[in-house]
């Protein structure tokens, strides 16, 4: 498997401190390194609210591109948020370019999927959470990862209600 890129550049896995992979990626980038920190959007519930957050695909790891013959390893090891470069013995182990390319493709595919709207205006939906749970209505508008507006028929009157997109799903009833 090919591990050497142009000008002898190779990818290496960097182990980060817990919860500090974003910090490590930022500091390594400021030092001039090429960094690949695969992240994905996930739905997360905090303080009773559900929303979309960016989380690392590998919470403790990121990838850095370096020339092992020209670049100095010491600045990487001493970067805030970094624990070490993954190595067998004393030698950091290169990550195959094909693996990085595959990860990049999967992360970009996931990002494209999350941007597509789940519902079209007028589509029947069911509310899955909150005070209107189990009620059906019509999707009016909204974005996948934000608030949405739905139309509910309550006591023979139509009401526009704003909800988190995570609180609705497609209706299973005809």
CATH of the domain at 74: 3.30.70.940
The parent domain of residue 14 ranges over 6-115
Residues 101 and 145 occupy one common structural domain: no
What's the average pLDDT block by block, 10 residues per block, for the chain (174 residues)?
65 94 94 91 71 82 91 90 92 92 80 56 89 90 78 88 86 76
Residues 60 and 86 occupy one common structural domain: yes
Half-sphere exposure of 31 (CA within 13 A, CB side): 21
Last residue of a domain, one of 115, 133, 161: 115
Model pTM score: 0.59
CB 127 within 8 A of CB 134: yes
Beta-bridge partner residues of 42: 53
Last residue of a domain, one of 115, 133, 155: 115
Residues 48 and 85 occupy one common structural domain: yes
* pLDDT recorded at residue 96: 94
Q: How many structural domains are present in the chain?
A: 2
Identify which of 81, 86, 87 has the alpha carbon closest to the alpha carbon of residue 17.
Answer: 81
């Amino acid at each position: 498997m090919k591990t050497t890129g142009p000008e002898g550049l190779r990818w290496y896995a960097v182990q980060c401190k817990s919860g500090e992979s974003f910090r490590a990626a930022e500091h390594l980038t400021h030092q001039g390194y090429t960094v690949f920190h695969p992240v994905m959007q996930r739905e997360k519930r905090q303080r009773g609210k559900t929303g979309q957050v960016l989380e690392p695909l590998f919470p403790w790891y990121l990838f850095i591109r370096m020339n092992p013959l020209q670049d100095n390893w010491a600045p990487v090891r001493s970067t805030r948020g970094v624990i070490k470069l993954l190595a067998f013995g004393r030698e950091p182990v290169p990550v195959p370019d094909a693996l990085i390319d595959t990860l990049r493709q999967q992360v970009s595919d996931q990002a494209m999927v999350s941007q597509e709207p789940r519902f079209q205006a007028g589509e029947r939906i069911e509310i899955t959470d909150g005070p209107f749970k189990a009620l059906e209505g019509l999707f009016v508008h909204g974005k996948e990862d934000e608030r949405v507006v739905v139309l509910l028929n309550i006591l023979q009157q139509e009401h526009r209600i704003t909800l988190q997109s995570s609180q609705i799903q497609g209706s299973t009833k005809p």
